[in-house]
Amino acid sequence: QVQLQESGPGLVKPSQTLSLTCTVSGGSISSGSYYWSWIRQPAGKGLEWIGRIYTSGSTNYNPSLKSRVTISVDTSKNQFSLKLSSVTAADTAVYYCAGLLWGVGYGAFDIWGQGTMVTVSS
Amino acid sequence: DIQMTQSPSSLSASVGDRVTITCQASQDISNYLNWYQQKPGKAPKLLIYDASNLETGVPSRFSGSGSGTDFTFTISSLQPEDIATYYCQQYDNLFTFGPGTKVDIK
C-alpha cells in the first residue's frame, strides 16, 4: 500500500522560499496511473490545489500561484518536491502531498500524506 | 477557472437522520466531481468519485449524484463517526475544491 510522507521546515521567514519534499513508500512513484500533487489548507479554511507533476516532469499549476511555484520529481529517490517563493503570512498552512489517480474520465486524490504545518513568520 | 460552491456551510443532525449536501459548479463539469471527508487533524479521504461511484471500502450509506453543474452528496443514516467536513472537488479543468460543509451531531 502506497504511503506518502511530507518533510521540510515548519517555519519559513517572509520573502523566503518554502521547500517541502514528499517521499513515496510502498510503491513506485513511476506508477503510470498517478500524478503527484501538492494541496494546502490554512487553519480553519478549505483546501487549495497547488499543482501536480507526472514522472516525465510534466507539470500543471494553480494559476493563482503559478508565478511562485515549482514542483519537481526525483524518481531515483521516489520523491517529489514543492518550492514556493516569496512567501508571506498568507502562505501559512498545512501542506499535503497527494497522489492523483488520473485516467480517462477519472481524476481523484486517493492517496494523501498526513500533512505538515508550515508557518511563515519572522 | 471553475468555482465551486457548497450548501449548507454547516449542519447539525441527529444520529440516523438523512443528510444532504449540495455542490454547484460555475460551469458544466459533466460528472467530473469527487467528494471527500475530512476529520479534524486528518487528511481528507476520498469517498465518492465521478459524482456517483463509491470508493472501495466506503460504507454504502454514503452516495452521490448529479451531473453538469449541480451535484448532491447524501448520508442515508448519519452515524457518530460521520462527524467531519465534506468537500466536493472538480477535475474538469485543473482542480478546485468547494468551501466545505461541516456536519455535526445534534
Residues of chain B neighbouring A49 (CB-CB closer than 8 A) = 94-97
Q: Strands of B1-106 (E only): list them.
A: 4-7, 10-13, 19-25, 33-38, 45-49, 53-54, 62-67, 70-75, 84-90, 96-97, 101-105
A115: chain B residues, CB-CB within 8 Å: 43
Helix (H, G, I), strand (E, B) or coil at B85: strand
The whole-chain average pLDDT of chain A stands at 96
Q: What is the pLDDT of residue A32?
A: 79
- Measured in angstroms, the CA of A48 and the nearest CA of chain B are apart by 7
Cβ-based contacts of B89 with chain A (< 8 Å) = 47, 108-109
Contact B46 A108 (CB under 8 A): yes
Counting residues of chain B whose pLDDT is more than 90, the rounded percentage is: 100
- A33-79 pLDDT, tens digit per residue, is 899 999 999 999 999 999 999 999 999 999 999 999 999 999 999 99
> What is the sign of the dihedral through the CA atoms of B15, B43, B36 and A110?
negative
Q: In the prediction, which pLDDT does A106 show?
A: 85
Over residues B26-60, the pLDDT tens digits come to: 999 999 999 999 999 999 999 999 999 999 999 99
Residue of chain B minimizing CA distance to A114:
B43
